[in-house]
Structure formats: C-alpha cells, structure tokens
Structure 1
Amino acid sequence: MDFQSSLNKRNLIVLILIIVFAYFAFWMRMIPAEGLVSSAGVDLLGNDPWYNLREIEVMVSNSLQYPWFDPMTYYPYGTDNFWGPLFPMIASVMCILAGASTRPEIMYVSSFLPPLMAAAMVPVTYFVAERVYNWKAGLAAAFIVSFVGGQYFYRSLFAFVDHHIAEVFFSTLFCLAYIAYLVYVNKHPVDFRDKESLKIPALIAVGSGIAYTLGLYVMPTMALFALLVAIFTGLMFIINSYRNVSSEYLVLANTVTFLVAIAGLLVLGLHHSGTSMIRYSMGHVYAYLALIVGTLVLYGLRRALNEKPWHYYLGSVIAFGVVAIAFMIVAMPDFYGTFLSGLAGFFGYSAQLTTIEEAQNWSLDKAWSSFNVGIILMILGLFASVFLYLKEKKETFIFILVWSLLIIYSTTIQVRYEYYLGVNIAILTGILTACTLSYGWSEIEKILSGLKSEQQAPPQEESKKKGKGKNQPKALPKKKPVNSGKIIPFAAVVVFIAAFAYVMVPVDINTSEVMKNYGGMTYDWKEALEWFGENSPETGIDYYAIYDRADYTNPPESYGVMSWWDYGHWITFISERPPNANPFQEGVAGSNGAAAYFIQQSEEESNAILDNLNTRYVITDAEMDSGDGKFWAMSTWYDPEVQSAPYLEHFLNINSDNSYSVVTFYTPEYYNTMISRLHNFDGSMVDPSQVVYIEYVDGAAYGSPYPILSAATMLGFNEAEAKAEEFNAANAGTGKAAEILSWNVLVPDGKVPALQHYRLIHESPTNILEANNQDLKYVKVFEYVPGAVINGEGTIKIDLETGTGRQFSYMQESVDGRFIVPYSTTGANGDVMPLGDYTIVETGETFSVSEDAVMNGLTIN
C-alpha cells in the first residue's frame, strides 16, 4: 500500500469517527425531547430561553428584523437588548425553512439548534487540536467534546434555546482561524519587505476577523477573546525578543483581524450610547483600536531595541504598560473607566451576584461535580502543552495555554464560563493523548511488530529426519526488548479517558433524562400565567411589533407586573404582559426595584414603588416566600450588607443522639415584609396565636458560629412574651437570652396588619403545605387597587372563596376611623368570590361594596 492510499484510508477513518462522535453528541442532547414536547409546544429549560423564543417569534413575524428595543419587559422603561441577533436569526431561518409559523412549531424547530451546534463543535474541536498538534490529538479532542459535561452539556440540550452554545461555537471557530494563521506563518514567514509573503496570511487574518465578528454578533462577551489575543500578543513579543525571532506576523494578524471586527461591528450598528463592553457600544471600537495600537507600539519598541539584549525590551514593555495606564487615568479617564468596567463586567463579583446561580464562584466541589476526571486530564494537558512548546517552540501551544488559563480563571470567578471550559478540557486532553502516544510510540511499534511476527510465523513441524533437514524451522529474528516505562504515560491517559467517559456519559444521559421530566416552568406558574394572560386587560403594546426607542411611548392603557426577576421572561412569553423585573437583573435593585418592593415593611412605601412604575398586578410564589428559597436573594439585593439577617435567625440545635443541626426561625420583621403579607396572609390582618418561645446561649464560647438552643416551646403569644421578659431580665449579661420566633410561615410571631390595596384574584392549585394540614398555594396573583372607603371603628371582615375552593377571611383594623377595603362584594374579584358582605365584627354592621367603588376609591358611607 503506497503512502497516498494509506493517507486516504486514514482520512476516511477520521471522517467516519468524527461523524460518529457528532451523532453521539446530538443523540444525548435530544433525549429531553421525549418528555418536553407536547401539542402546546416545548417546555423550555431555564429562564433566558423563553426570552430567546420571544425574539425568534418576533423575527419570524417581521422578516428577520431584530428587536433591539423591547417595551415588553423592564416596564415602564423597556430594555435595549444586549445580546446579538445571530443566534435567534439562525433559529428564525430554520423555522422559515421548515415552514414553522405557529408558537408550538417555532418552539419545536428552535429547540433543535443547541444540539445541532453541539454536534458541529465536534469537527471544529477536531481541527483546533489537529492544527495545534496532529490528527491524533484532534480525534481525542473530538471524542471528549462529544460528552464533556457541566454547563457545556446542559446549555446545549434540546429545549435550552439560548445563545451560550453559539458563543462557544463561534469563539472556538475564531480560535481555530487564528491558530490556522499561526500555523501557516510558521512555515511561510511574514516579511513586510516582501509583499508576496503578506497575501495569503492577510486572507487568513480576514477569515479570523470574520469569525470574530460572527462571535460578536452572538454576544458582546466575545471581547473576552480580544483579551486573549492581547495577552498572547504581549507574551509572544517578549518570547520572540528573547529568541530573536520576528513578530511581524502578529502585527499583520491583529491589525487585519480587528479592523475587520470594527467594520463588522459598525455594520451591525452601535446600539448603546455609552462605552460598556457588555453592550454593543463604542467601547468595543476603542478596545480593538487599542489592541491594534498596542501591537504596533510593541513592534516599534522591538525594532528600536533590535540590537539590545532582550531584557531591555522586557523592561521597555513593562514601562510602556505603566505609562499607558497612567496616561489613560490622567488624559483619558472615560476610556480608563470603560476598561475597568469591561473587566468588572467579565470578572466582577458582589454580594448580589451570589444570588445568581451562574454568576457564583467556581469551587473545587463544583469543578469535580461538573467534569470529574476531566479536571485531572485538563491539568495534565496544560503540562503537556508546556512540554511540547519547550520541545517544538510552536507558538500554537502558547496560544492554547493562554486561552485555557484565561477561561479557567474566568470560571473560578463566575461558574457560567464552564460552558467555554468544556472545549479547553477536550483540546488539552487531545494534546495530552497525542503527546504521550508519540512518547511511547516506538515501544508500541515493537509490541505490534512482535504480534505481527507471531501471526505470520509458519507452524513448527517436527522433523521426520534426524539432523538437519528441509523441514527444520527457520530461526525467527530476535525480539527487541520493550521499554515499558515509555508506554505507561499513554496507558495511564487511556485509563483516565476511559474513566472520564465511564463517569461522564451516564451523568450526561441522566441529566437529559431528568430534564425530560422537568422542563423550565412549573405547572403552577404556567397555569397561573395562562389564566393571567386571559383575564387581565390588554396593555396596548403589540407583542409581535418592532419598536424603536427613539419614537416609542408607552400607551395610556399599559401597566406593569411586579414579580421577582426570575419570572420576568415567563410573564412576557406566557401572559404577554410586561414585567417590571427580568432575568437580566433589570428592575431588581434601587429604590423602585423588585427587591425594595417585596422586602418593605410599609405598605405605603411599596405602594409608592408601584405608583412610580405604573404597575397594576403583583405575582408571588412560595419560593419567594421561603427562607430556603428566593427570600434570601431578595433580601440580599435589598441590602447586601445585612442580607437576610433581620428576617431569619439561625440556631445550632443539639439532637438527642448528640449530633448537630442548624434550625431557622422567622422574625417579626419577616412576617411584616410585603412578600409575607401577600403570599402567606393574602393581605389580611393576622393576630399571633401560638408562637415558639426559645432560650439560647451565645455560641462563640463553644466555637459555634450560631447561638445554641437550650429550650424551645410552643406557647400562646401573651404567655411567651411574659416568659421572655422574665428570662431576659434574670439572665442579663450571662450570654443567655430568650426570644419569641416562629418556624411556620403561616403562624406569625407578632401582629401583622392588613394590606388595604391588594386583593387576591387567582391562585394555582398546588398546596405546598398539604402534608402539614395547612393550605398555602404555590403561585398567587394580586391586583393593586385604590380600594373602597368605609367609615367605622374596630375590625372589618369578609369571607371569600378562591377558584381552587380554598376559603379564607380578609380582616382589617380601622385606621383614623375608616377602612380601605380591596374586595368587591357584588361580583367576582378575578376568580375569588365573596361569600357575603363586609361586617364590622364589634357592631355587626354590614356593607356591600361595588367593583366601581373599589376601582375608583369611592366612599361607601
């Protein structure tokens, strides 16, 4: 077999394996489709995919126009979309080509895009590793990337219709193009004095710029890869100076690549007036120009110091960096601020960010949970890349090292970057595999040739004649001894890869199986939002229209919907109503934010927030209400310093078997927050009944971060109050104390006043406290109303029944000789029915209240 036929055979095998790996990647990610698809559409995963589907619907309806401004979220301001049009445009084109026009069809077709992109990542990853090292590295990398887990796998599942997998795909495509440039110029050096030497490298650099631009069209975070190039460029100029090698190829690459990127950005348009790097703004233009200028300055310094020892150049580069930063601070403070804000956007961290799952720090536990043995392979791959660079002096290994270390660092700051890291794990594992295989190949060949010789050797026959005869077997060539030490590294890597696949593939399949039965939206939220969309007034905002911020004004009949930010996209997509807050964390912080609204202790202050935002409805759920759920996140956004401390108290409890557990109690401040008064008590006044009387000692003396419980008893409120006063007076200064708290969200530890302007209009069917023989529905919808005025003294009461059949009483104490009541007695309040008129408990007087009186603040008597 000649060399050409052998090469063709190898290429065919490689192609077949890549197709198999790509299909395997696609198949695993399609498993959720079996459980998520119904006649109503697809139960999308997560939060952001619901908004992506909204964009796709709008683009399909408007000839692929992208809604850069959207008044259907972050009401009343509207949002300027900060991610790009490429991902929803690809999905929209797929829908148009497939003839998908209805919502269920659009959801179904779009849900295929993430698994398809994950499959496309297989050949792209192969070519990256192949260009960096060889085809063996490419095959190993392609295999690993087909099943590598963590956020990379989850965000490429069927029904996770989000742009993250597109970010990974196009950023990897850019790295492939840049690496291809480096490989080419390594064999065909760039010389500015020879124009012919510039042509093909310049064309490859144009391709690199186009790939970068495509990534930028997906998401502005593509700027992270401009930072990668900047770090790589500075490092290579220093290394090339030490090696006395020309760096002209870097000047050509960066200038062409980022001029193309600037042109591409200007074609897309600048859609933000500031200089934020997480938006499509002039900040990107400034950054790319700075990268080009920085490259030229490094080149100029290199030429100026060409005859000097290399450490002169190193010192000059450091001095240039210091001077450049000082110059920006003094002469260009705005640009310096843009630079810092860009770094903060990518690597920033705060107390509020801890409430966002994808923005949390990456711990060793999370790393191992996501990638398992892949972490070991990644670390070994980094060492292999260093070894190969020292051996072969190819800058592609430096590029891989910088790329991988930058992504690793980014992931430690915010776990969301795991979806980038999966690719680096695959590439580094491919390099490690090929490196160890190359190291031990000569010994492996000895083993293979020995096996071949044994197979080809003729069977030995016993000679029929004594002495020498024709049938005497020929002597076999003497076997060369095998140095097993050179095979061990490759064998160990194969074992690690097998272990990685053995652990990760079942985890991936299990993740897909779980998602098949999970979806992104609970039944209760879907039921509540569908009801709300059908039973609330139109807003006057066309869900499918393209609006321009410059000439847009909210219609007079429009209004907002207050809920926690997690649910904003669901409200937009299912109810087609504009939420005040959304998963972009818009409308969350500040004096008019959702956190301030739900954590307020004063109805008047919360009402002022809704008035400022022109908001008419409030939607709550049990997670917002729970100390173990989203309440902590809301209180952290409201006050990052104290977080949930004023509302939740934690104690160390010594169990009967001498083990320890932490128990949580709710304070009076918790029960007076708006979220508790709405969701727990439906806005009604509540008198404390039984409370938890506790005694505890300061845990510091015992090495505990929590106070240690010494007693806990259920008592009536008055008895508990008297006992706590007596205990605290007798134990002042001893480290012992007593408090009145509660462990039950429906049993407050103090009096809770009524809300005057909120009426329950719908609740979802699931009772989350059914096991405790109590009734608390999962999702509730409230209407904010002026309320009717009834003059009188004492306590007023009305009995009501919800659409789920739950009966409850709304009670309110008079303030300044009057009641302001939110429920009508003459008809349904949403699907909550009055069971009679209002009655003043002390006098027995009854009052009928019309809907007109409630909605216009009329006085009844």
Structure 2
Amino acid sequence: MAQMDLKKYQPYIIIGVIVLFALLTLWTRGIPSEGLVTAEGVNLLGNDPWYSLRQVEQTVANYPGYAWFDTMTFYPSGDVIYWGPLFVQIIATLCVLTGAATRPEIMLVASWVPPLMAAAMVPVTYLLARKIADWKTGLIAAGLIAVIGSNYAYRSLFGFVDHHIAETLFSTIFVLAYVTALLAARDRPLSPKNFETLKIPAVTAALAGIAYLLGLFNMPTMILFALIVAVFTLVQFLLDFFQDRSSDYLVLINAVVFGVAIIGMAAFGFPHPGLDLSRYTVGHVIVYAVLIAGTLALYGLSVFLKGRPKYYYPAALALIAAAAVAVLFVALPDIYNLLISSLISFFGERPVTTTVQEARAWSFSAAWMTFHWGLVLAAGGAAALLWKNLERVNPAHVFVLIWSAIILASTAAHVRYEYYLAANIALLSAVFAGAVINATWKDVARLLGRGSASKASPAPEAAEKQETPAKKGKKGGKAPDTRKAKTPKRDQPDYLKIGALAAVVAVTLLFAGTSLMGNIALGTNAKYSGMDSQWMEALEWMGENTPDPGVDYYAIYDRESFTYPEGSYGVMSWWDYGHWITFVAKRIPNNNPFQHGVAGPNGSARYFVSTSEEAANRILDNIGTRYVVTDIQLDTSKFHAPATWADPDVGQERFQPYYLLPESAGSTNYQAVPFNNQEYYLTMVSRLHNFDGSMTDPTEASVIYAEYLEPARANTSLPVITRTQQMNATAGAAAVEAYNRNAPAGSGATLLNMYYQYRGDSVLQPLERVPALHHYRLVHETPRNVYGNVGEDGPDLKTVKVFEYVPGATINGEGIIEVPIVTNTGREFTYRQESVNGTFVVPYATSGWSGEVKATGPYRIAGTGQTFDVTEEDILQGRTIN
C-alpha cells in the first residue's frame, strides 16, 4: 500500500526535486549579487557583458528595435553586430514589463537573466535524459546540470550578462525537440497517403525547427547543430541500411526541421551580405537546403541499393562525396570555400588566438580541472549507449553520441565551448549512473531483503521442507534438524554488482559535491571581481571631462547613410577595454573585444608596440584618435598580446626575449626565462605608461650584463646564458661593447633587465636613454600606486593613465628642455625632451589650460636661462614659439 501511494505521488515528487535543483542553481548563480550590486548599478563581470547592457539600453530606448550597426564602437567605421537579437530582446522585454527604465534598474534585471536561464536548464536536461533513458536518469542529469561548474557556471552567474548561457539553453532545447521527433517517428509506419501516420512526427519536427530558430536568432553558431544533424543523418542512414530498416523518418524530420528553419530565416531577413555562416546571411538558407537535399539523396540511394551487398552503400557514398567535392571546387568555388573556411575557422587555431583566453585550445589538465570525475562518468555513459545499441540501434542514442563527440571536438579546439559541453557531461554521466542503478537494483533489493525474489521464492522454512530429506532417529522418528535455512542461489545478491553501484554512486556524489563547492567558491570570488575600481574611476572621469563625440548613444543608425559628425574622435586602448569605454564613458573606442581594430597597419597592436612615435602618430591620424588609455596590465602581463597580434611569427620575442638559464649552479638542466631588452622600453605603451612620455635615462639601479651562446652554437632552441653580472647601465653598455668587439663565433653579450614578474619596478629601469614623446600629454591618472605604500622615495606608477594626442607647440633651441608637472593625484615629475635638429615639439601648456594635470612653471632649456610660456591655443594649433 505504501508503495502504491509512493507511485501515485511520484510525478509530484519528481517535480519537487526538479524545482529544488532549479532553486539550488539560482542560489549558487546569485551569490555574486551580494557584492556586485551598488547604488550606481551592477559592476558586471568580464568585458562582453558591458556591451550586452549597452545593447539592452539601446533596445529599451527604441523598443523593440535592434541595432545591426553600432556607431559607438570601432571608430571611425562603426561596427556590424554579427549575433542575433533574441538574448537582448528577452532582457529588454523583461525591463519593459517590470518598468525598469534607469541604468541601475536595467542592469539589475539583466543580471538575473543568466541565472534564470541556468535554472531553466534543469527541467530541460531532465526531459532530455528521460527521453534517452528513464526518470531516474533524468533526475540525476537534472542534479548534475544544477551543480556542474567552470565556464558553464561562470557564464551563467549573476552579472555575466552575455548570450553564452542562452546558447547552451536553446541548443539543448533543440536537441530535446529533435530527439523527441526521432522517437516519435522511430518504428512508426510512415505513409504519405495517411496523414495520421505523419502528424505526430511532423509536429514534433516542426517544434524542433522552431527550437533551432530560437538558437539561431540568439547566435549564428547554432549552425554547428546543423552540422551535427548532417553527420548524424549520414551515420544513421548507414546503420539503417545495414540493419535493413527504412530511413524515411529521417527524410520527414530533416525536411520539416530545416524547412521551418528556411522559412524562419527568410522571414527574419538577411542583415548581413555574402555567405558567411558566422553571420546572418543567405548562406544559412543554402546550407539548410543542401542538408534537406542531401537527406533525400541518401534516402534515394538506400532505396536504389536495397537488397544488394551491404558494402555497396558506403562505397557509393564515398564516390558521390568525392564527386560532390570536386564539383563544388570547380563549379561552385564560393560555396566550397564557404564550407571549408567555416570548418577551419571553427575548429582551427591561429597564433593570435592564444592571446584570447576563451579561444585557446583545451588541454587535458584544463578539462580535468573543469569536469574531473564527470569525464570518467561521461565516458561510461557513452559506452553504455554504445552497448545498448549493439543489437538494435536507437537513433536518439546515436544522435546524442554524435552531438557529444562534435561538441567535445569543438571544446578541444576552443575552450569557450565548455559551456556547451556541460550539458553533454551531465547527460552522459547520468546515463551511466542510471544504467548502473538499473542493472544492480535487484541485487540491492535482495541485499535489503525486500526484492521481488523474496516474494516469488518459497519462504526459508518451505524451502527446507522441499529440499531437505528427513532424518530418522533410532526409533524411526525424525531427527531434529539444526541446520540454518539456505537462500536459493538465484535470490542471493551479486556483491560485485553492488560494489560497482557503490563505486558509481560515490564517484557521482564526488563529482556533484566537488562541483557544487566549486560553484559556491566561484560565486563568492565573483562578488567583487567586476570592473577594476581604477578603470571605473578613469572612465567616469573621461565621460565627464572629455568632449562629447556628437553621436547619440541611444540612437539606431543605418550603416549605409551614417557619417560621423565633425569633431567626433576615437579612444585608443587595448581591445579588452573597448566595451568599458563605450558603456561607462560613452566614448567611442578604436577597437573592441570583438578583436576589431586590433590587427592590421592601423590596429592597436601595431600602435602599442611601435618603437617610432612618427609611425604611431600616423596610426592615430588614420583612425581619428584623440585620447589614449593605458594600464599596468597592458604594460606588463598583457604585453604579449599586442606583440603577438602585431607580429604573430615573432610575438614578444622582439621585446622580451627568452634565454636558457641553468636551474641551479652547476646544473645541466635549463629553464627558459624572459627578460626585458631596450626594445621593450621604446614601445609606445612603455613610453606612455612608465615614463609619462618624458625622456628617461637609465638610473643607477643595476641591470644585467649577460654573455650568451647563440642557439646554433649551443645546439638549443634558445640562446644559453653563460655568465651574468649586475652593473649599472653605463658600465654595462661599455662591457657589452668590449666583449662583442672580440666575441668568439656563436657568442655575444647584451644588456637585459628582469622581467616584471621577477622584479616589479624593472619596467621603470630602461637600459639606454628613452627619447621623449612630442605629441602626448597626460590628462588623468588613477590614484592607486601599483607598488602599494612604498613611501615618498619609492616608485610611483599608477594603474590607469589617460593621454591626449595633441599637435604640440614648436620651440626653437638646442639641448634639453624641461617643464615641471603635477598630476591630478599630486604626483610630481619633470617632462624632459632633447632637441632634434634645433627644435622641440612640446605637448603641455603652461597657461590657458584648465585640466587637472598642470605645468607648475615655464619651459626651461637646461643649463641656460631661457624660459618659454606656451598657451593651450599654441598646443592645439601647433604654433611655433619664438
């Protein structure tokens, strides 16, 4: 009776457990809200979420309009938006419905959408696992997706307002709908003459098509799932042919799914020209039409070859595929190039992608750190599905395996796809755990003494009477039996199976518990990990103290008719900070986190690592830059990024070369160690951020005199340092010259300085004189000293600095000119410049300037009594001072 009651309430129990898992998800994702929410809004995580909020604000102001072209980024051309409106429209609609109109209100509403989508993944994953296996597997999968961590968890945290979690949600909904369609059509006799046989499969397939469109309208990378369907279709046709099964259900499903996709895409429109599949182009329609046609071709070939030797079908497919590739290559090169370039760009890697964290390849150590025991469980789940399909193939299982394999390959190519893979890990882990539970449940019941065997088998006493012959006593009577009753062998539990269950349960709980603890730590650490306060201060200052560029922040402009107004300008910084500049300062960056404006002759990479002011100035002139923003990270830990983007073949080696050093005195083992050379100190980012654009000579601090063997001489991949000595730069330069004058073949000497990780203030210690910049003046710096509280005599380098690019005034004279400067933080320094061809070009005004960074006296040529007053108008007009 108790069991009947439990069965009766089972649906409600399942719903209750799913709700609890969803609430657990919402709680862990919401932890950062305790620290990120302020009176000014939400201090969003990362970079891209700030642009999502910019889009939401724009959409709310023009509801339900969506901008496919943005004038507030990538100056002077503006940027094309290549992802879809769905995620932004969902947030904008919620803002409209809740009455959120101010920036803090909009940010708060938007910040809860990713956690809510993560919570929605719980029932979706349950339903998918239930379709694949049973309700027990569904509950396990729901529990695992609630706690699974790393990229998936991070990208669904409160404050990470980006479309990534929406990609996972809508793609998983598509998989659920497609699997449902497969199961609805499997083993169902389909007849075009009988609509009743087609109705349910067609309706479920249409729903899968709608789910595909939802994913597509969120992000064009949904095309990956068309590839998954294509690979599955090919594999399933082969399996059906070898098992003498009809594949007509695949024709129906694919025709309906991608027919809906074609209709939806046509109704949506094509905001982007060309055939690029990473954007919303007609290329999508072509691919979907080819997929439908390919399915029909596979079906026709299977019908034609029915009854013939099995190897005919794969052989014919190989020949047709080769012919199709040849035809595309010769007759339709655009489509051929479209397909090949899309595959290469998606699964390939370039040197510059190593500078983008989410675009890097996945390593095993990173995989284990993310999913740890989930990888073992998922492998078991994949094996379980394969085992179940050995005798009779289940198309839904085949689809899940192919989906998982392609997503795994995508993640291996680019670590960002971890957030897709989370659904596969949770599902396959649950499949394995569920399979083990189902295989061992009877043994557990027997162990607990309440299995069906105990009911079906005779009681111990009855068994004894049936199986034990009576013993007679001396007088012929029955002797008393003192033996214990035996349980029939078939009713005894298999302890090996029970041990296997215990192990799987333990590993599953370990995976879930470790992941949950990781998510709690992730959320806790994210409480105060939004935009750095120094950047916020600098950009708020920029928004209030620099000229308005004359572009309406909220307006939606047409790309074809828009032109930037006179007086507009760009802000040069590294691409990481572009969205911050747009959202906080409402100014227009020259580059952005879409990596637009980074590479090429006018890119930010070339600018920041340029060692020629003239070359750097040409870049700013070409792209209309007025302000340059630097920070300590670009100067140190991120320096490798612009160096690599500027020259992928050489990278940072030109500025921060690696040498081999013995691991210890007398050791024959070497380690590669980076150093700063003089080229680093001559880069624009170093001259601006470290030296404020002023001429800087080496100090008395020691530098490294190093003698080395060239790689060819040492038979190594890098130069090998054979001797080092600490000395000041002047003595070191003399020692280098003396050694190299008579250096043995394959050896040399050079001056180096410690890498910033080994000596923090080494960035302030050039090896030779660094000339002044003539056209850059510091206009603002943030208060924090990166070296902490080091006293008045310690180094003082601020976190973020803002420079204005100006024409500068010309002063005739010879020697070194100086002017004392005090910054907005009270830091004092002397701007110094050496004359070139009898002239100085100076960037600071000594009068008429109302900015925060001021000259506290006139220009003075050192060693003479000559002084000069330079007005702000002289600086901006580029005048010559007599």
Partner of 1:267: 267
After superposition, the Cα gap between the structure-2 partners of 1:333 and 1:4, relative to the gap in structure 1 and judged at 3 Å, is: farther
Give the letter for the 1:503 counterpart. T
SS in 1 for 2:593: coil
Give the letter for the 1:802 counterpart. T
SS in 2 for 1:111: helix
Partner of 2:786: 768
In the alignment, structure 1 segments of 5+ residues that lack a partner are 461-466
SS in 2 for 1:169: helix
1:800–1:808 CA contact under 8 A, matched in 2: yes
1:48–1:569 CA contact under 8 A, matched in 2: yes
Partner of 2:646: 638
Q: Deviations over 1:299-351 (max 9, x none)?
A: 11112212322211111111111111111110101111111222133212100
Once the two structures are TM-superposed, the CA of residue 4 in structure 1 deviates from its matched residue by 8.2
Pairing partner for 2:588 from 560, 578, 582? 578
Once the two structures are TM-superposed, the CA of residue 698 in structure 1 deviates from its matched residue by 5.1
Q: Deviations over 1:494-536 (max 9, x none)?
A: 11101112322111111111001222x1111110000011000
Give the letter for the 1:756 counterpart. H
Rounded Cα–Cα distance in structure 2 between residues aligned with 1:350 and 1:64: 38
Partner of 1:508: 519
2:361–2:412 CA contact under 8 A, matched in 1: yes
In the alignment, structure 2 segments of 5+ residues that lack a partner are 462-476, 755-761
Give the letter for the 2:753 counterpart. S
Rounded Cα–Cα distance in structure 1 between residues aligned with 2:723 and 2:780: 41
Once the two structures are TM-superposed, the CA of residue 696 in structure 1 deviates from its matched residue by 3.4
Rounded Cα–Cα distance in structure 1 between residues aligned with 2:6 and 2:802: 70
Once the two structures are TM-superposed, the CA of residue 658 in structure 1 deviates from its matched residue by 7.1
Once the two structures are TM-superposed, the CA of residue 391 in structure 1 deviates from its matched residue by 4.5
Q: In the alignment, does 2:299 pair up with 1:299?
A: yes
Cα RMSD after superposing both structures: 2.5
Deviates more, 1:189-198 or 1:393-402: 189-198
Give the letter for the 1:242 counterpart. F
Q: Deviations over 1:6-59 (max 9, x none)?
A: 543221211111111111111111111101111011110111000000001111
Rounded Cα–Cα distance in structure 1 between residues aligned with 2:655 and 2:279: 37
SS in 1 for 2:246: coil
2:442–2:451 CA contact under 8 A, matched in 1: no
Once the two structures are TM-superposed, the CA of residue 488 in structure 1 deviates from its matched residue by 3.2
Pairing partner for 2:770 from 743, 749, 752? 752
SS in 1 for 2:653: coil
SS in 2 for 1:619: strand
Q: In the alignment, does 2:625 pair up with 1:615?
A: yes
Partner of 1:562: 572
Q: In the alignment, does 2:502 pair up with 1:491?
A: yes
Partner of 1:854: 875
Rounded Cα–Cα distance in structure 2 between residues aligned with 1:491 and 1:4: 27
SS in 2 for 1:396: helix
Superposition map of 1:192-591 within 5 A: 192-450=192-450, 480-519=491-530, 521-591=531-601
Once the two structures are TM-superposed, the CA of residue 675 in structure 1 deviates from its matched residue by 0.9
Rounded Cα–Cα distance in structure 2 between residues aligned with 1:701 and 1:440: 66
Rounded Cα–Cα distance in structure 1 between residues aligned with 2:61 and 2:594: 24
Q: Deviations over 1:790-840 (max 9, x none)?
A: 111111111100011111111111122211111110144631011101111
1:148–1:422 CA contact under 8 A, matched in 2: yes
Give the letter for the 1:284 counterpart. H
Rounded Cα–Cα distance in structure 1 between residues aligned with 2:589 and 2:267: 32
Pairing partner for 1:694 from 706, 731, 734? 706
Give the letter for the 1:613 counterpart. I
Between the aligned residues of both structures, percent identity stands at 47
After superposition, the Cα gap between the structure-2 partners of 1:451 and 1:136, relative to the gap in structure 1 and judged at 3 Å, is: closer
2:820–2:856 CA contact under 8 A, matched in 1: yes
SS in 2 for 1:561: strand
Rounded Cα–Cα distance in structure 2 between residues aligned with 1:188 and 1:701: 74
2:447–2:492 CA contact under 8 A, matched in 1: no
Partner of 2:748: 737
Give the letter for the 2:873 counterpart. D
After superposition, the Cα gap between the structure-2 partners of 1:144 and 1:589, relative to the gap in structure 1 and judged at 3 Å, is: same
Rounded Cα–Cα distance in structure 2 between residues aligned with 1:244 and 1:544: 61
Partner of 1:175: 175
2:186–2:249 CA contact under 8 A, matched in 1: no
Give the letter for the 1:533 counterpart. G
Give the letter for the 1:176 counterpart. L
Give the letter for the 1:285 counterpart. V
Pairing partner for 1:717 from 701, 723, 729? 729
Give the letter for the 2:549 counterpart. T
Give the letter for the 1:484 counterpart. Y
Give the letter for the 2:438 counterpart. S
1:617–1:782 CA contact under 8 A, matched in 2: yes
Deviates more, 1:599-608 or 1:189-198: 189-198
Q: Deviations over 1:545-580 (max 9, x none)?
A: 111112111111211011110000000000001101
Partner of 2:739: 727
Q: In the alignment, does 2:801 pair up with 1:780?
A: yes
Rounded Cα–Cα distance in structure 2 between residues aligned with 1:123 and 1:282: 34
Deviates more, 1:682-691 or 1:229-238: 682-691
2:807–2:843 CA contact under 8 A, matched in 1: yes
1:761–1:829 CA contact under 8 A, matched in 2: no
TM-score by length of 1: 0.95
Give the letter for the 1:797 counterpart. E
Pairing partner for 2:859 from 838, 842, 845? 838
SS in 2 for 1:644: helix
Partner of 1:463: none
Give the letter for the 1:745 counterpart. V
Q: In the alignment, does 2:19 pair up with 1:19?
A: yes
Rounded Cα–Cα distance in structure 1 between residues aligned with 2:584 and 2:499: 58
Rounded Cα–Cα distance in structure 2 between residues aligned with 1:61 and 1:757: 39
Rounded Cα–Cα distance in structure 2 between residues aligned with 1:689 and 1:309: 84
Q: In the alignment, does 2:821 pair up with 1:809?
A: no
After superposition, the Cα gap between the structure-2 partners of 1:506 and 1:581, relative to the gap in structure 1 and judged at 3 Å, is: same
2:708–2:720 CA contact under 8 A, matched in 1: yes
1:254–1:292 CA contact under 8 A, matched in 2: yes
SS in 1 for 2:568: coil
SS in 2 for 1:648: coil
2:709–2:719 CA contact under 8 A, matched in 1: yes
Once the two structures are TM-superposed, the CA of residue 649 in structure 1 deviates from its matched residue by 2.1
1:618–1:783 CA contact under 8 A, matched in 2: yes
After superposition, the Cα gap between the structure-2 partners of 1:557 and 1:701, relative to the gap in structure 1 and judged at 3 Å, is: closer
Q: Deviations over 1:428-455 (max 9, x none)?
A: 0111112112222222232233489999
Rounded Cα–Cα distance in structure 1 between residues aligned with 2:316 and 2:7: 49
After superposition, the Cα gap between the structure-2 partners of 1:454 and 1:311, relative to the gap in structure 1 and judged at 3 Å, is: closer
Once the two structures are TM-superposed, the CA of residue 67 in structure 1 deviates from its matched residue by 1.2
Deviates more, 1:772-781 or 1:817-826: 772-781
After superposition, the Cα gap between the structure-2 partners of 1:194 and 1:165, relative to the gap in structure 1 and judged at 3 Å, is: same
Rounded Cα–Cα distance in structure 1 between residues aligned with 2:740 and 2:878: 47
Partner of 1:89: 89
1:650–1:663 CA contact under 8 A, matched in 2: yes
SS in 2 for 1:808: strand
SS in 1 for 2:628: strand
SS in 2 for 1:694: strand
Once the two structures are TM-superposed, the CA of residue 91 in structure 1 deviates from its matched residue by 0.9
1:760–1:829 CA contact under 8 A, matched in 2: no
Size of the alignment, in residue pairs? Answer: 847
Rounded Cα–Cα distance in structure 2 between residues aligned with 1:656 and 1:244: 69
1:221–1:346 CA contact under 8 A, matched in 2: no
Rounded Cα–Cα distance in structure 1 between residues aligned with 2:775 and 2:454: 92
2:30–2:157 CA contact under 8 A, matched in 1: yes
Once the two structures are TM-superposed, the CA of residue 399 in structure 1 deviates from its matched residue by 0.6
